[in-house]
Amino acid sequence: MGHLRRAYLGTMSEVAWRLPGWPQRLLTEFSLAERGSMVDMLAAAQATPRREMRRKYFLHALDEGRHAGIFAERVKALSGGRVARSDAVIEDAGLLQDHGIVGGKTLFERLGELEFLAFVFVAEADAVEQFGVYLDRKLPDPETTAALRDILKDESFHVSYSKLECERYRREGKPVDAALRAVRWRRMKEGWMRFTRDFGEWASGFWLLLLYFGAVGPFRLIARLESGGWRSASGASAVARNGLDEALAAARLES
């Protein structure tokens, strides 16, 4: 499995890093992923009931923040000061997508301490393997490779400490193997869900586009954009005159 994964990563990276504009795109994604990890680790530092873990999560978060900065600097350097608008997210507050907050709950709150540590271990080990492949192949350029080597040291430390903590839980009789299995299953499931979501977006987009040209087009003959200037207020928001019941009925309307 490991060999297969490395072969897959190697092949993909040979292609991806060499396409024009892709190194910037990939490094932007890495930067955002590291920023998202920082958010997750800080949330864990805030929420953990195990006080001895707080500093470890906190330092881990600082590492992730530093990595995000390193990747962002590489994007800028590779762009020659002309960061594409699609990568502008590294310059300003972007909509950070790669984080573990779902339904108002952080990754730590959703998983609990043991599974969270297992998640850190598995995710960081995957990152070490992934970055190792890039380093082996000296991709994409010497400066980025040097940055990756620097980051790899931190990631290896993250693997070590999370592994040690998992081992500690194992000695306490906690179901570490089950947690690791759950995390791997969760990552596979989330990967599949990402695929189904992306595929669904593409497919529904295709059908909606057909509808757009088939059904929306004819209505263009009737539709007009609003003209500028002041006009009487529609007053949809105003409240009925006739007492509380009507006022509430109007306020309940979504329209």
Partner 1 sequence: MPVYVLGISALYHDAAAVILCDGVIIGAAQEERFSRLKHDASLPIRAAAWCLKKAGITAADLTYLVFYEKPLRKFERILATSVATFPKSWGAFPRQMRTWLGDKLWLRGTLCAAFGVRPDRVLFCEHHLSHAASAFYASPHTEAAVLAVDGVGEWATTTLWRGSGTSLTPISEVRFPHSLGMLYSTITAHLGFAVNEGEYKVMGMAAYGQPRFRAELDRLLKLDPSGGYALDLDYFSFHWHPTRSGTPALEALLGPGRFPGAPFTPEGGAAGGAARAESQRWADLAASAQAQIEDAMLHLVRHAKAAVGTDALCLAGGVALNSVANRRIAQEGPFAHLWVQPAAGDAGGAMGAAMWVWHAVLGHPRQPGLARADLGRSIPVDRAREMLTDLGAKFEAVDDPPASAAADLADGKVIGWVEGGDEWGPRALGHRSILADPRSAETKEHVNSRVKYRELFRPFAPSVTAADADSWFDIPAAAQEPACWMLTTAAVRPEKQATIPAVVHVDGSARVQVVRPTASPVFHQLVSEFGRLTGVPIVLNTSFNLKGEPMVSCTVDAMASFVRSGLDVMYVDGLRVERPK
Partner 2 sequence: MSVPAEPFEPSRLEAALLKFGTAGALLAMLARGSRWWMLPLVVLFLFVAIGLLFLQSIQYVAPFIYMVF
| Chain residues in the site for partner 2 (CB under 8 A) | 192-193, 195-197, 199-200, 203-204, 207-208, 211, 215-216, 219, 222, 232-236, 238-242, 246-247, 249-250, 253-255
**CA 93 – CA 120 distance, rounded (Å):** 25
Q: Does 96 bind partner 1 (CB under 8 A)?
A: yes
**Between 227 and 232, CB nearer to partner 2:** 232
User: If contact means CB under 5 to 8 A according to the sort of partner, which of partner 2, partner 1, none does residue 227 touch?
Assistant: partner 1
Q: Does 91 bind partner 1 (CB under 8 A)?
A: yes
Tell me how far, at minimum, the Cβ of 224 lies from partner 2, in Å.
10
User: If contact means CB under 5 to 8 A according to the sort of partner, which of partner 2, partner 1, none does residue 83 touch?
Assistant: partner 1
- Structure tokens given for 180: 């690791």
Q: Does 3 bind partner 1 (CB under 8 A)?
A: no
**Between 58 and 157, CB nearer to partner 1:** 58
Residue 164: enclosing H or E segment and its boundaries? helix 142-171
The interface with partner 1 within residues 171-200 (CB under 8 A) comprises: none
Residue labelled with tokens 């890495």: 30
Q: Does 208 bind partner 1 (CB under 8 A)?
A: yes
Q: Does 224 bind partner 1 (CB under 8 A)?
A: yes
SS3 88: helix
**CA 155 – CA 33 distance, rounded (Å):** 14
Question: Of 146-154, 164-172, 177-185, 234-242, which part binds partner 1 (CB under 8 A)?
Answer: 234-242
Question: Of 4-12, 94-102, 142-150, 152-160, which part binds partner 1 (CB under 8 A)?
Answer: 94-102
User: If contact means CB under 5 to 8 A according to the sort of partner, which of partner 1, partner 2, none does residue 1 touch?
Assistant: none
Going by C-alpha positions, the residue among 133, 112, 105, 132 that lies closest to residue 183 is: 112
- The dihedral built from the CA positions of residue 179, 180, 182 and 187, taken in this order, carries a sign that is positive
The interface with partner 1 within residues 13-72 (CB under 8 A) comprises: 35, 38-39, 42-43, 45-46, 51-52, 54-55, 58, 61-62, 65-66
Going by C-alpha positions, the residue among 100, 89, 150 that lies closest to residue 123 is: 100
Burial class (CB in 10 A: 0-12, 13-18, 19+), 218: exposed
User: If contact means CB under 5 to 8 A according to the sort of partner, which of partner 1, partner 2, none does residue 242 touch?
Assistant: partner 2
CA 238 to chain centre: 41
Residue labelled with tokens 């430390």: 157
- Do the Cβ atoms of 175 and 181 come closer than 8 Å? no
Residue choice 101, 125, 135, 152 for contact with partner 1 (CB under 8 A)? 101
User: If contact means CB under 5 to 8 A according to the sort of partner, which of partner 2, partner 1, none does residue 249 touch?
Assistant: partner 2
- Structure tokens given for 128: 């070490």
Going by C-alpha positions, the residue among 139, 151, 195, 149 that lies closest to residue 15 is: 139
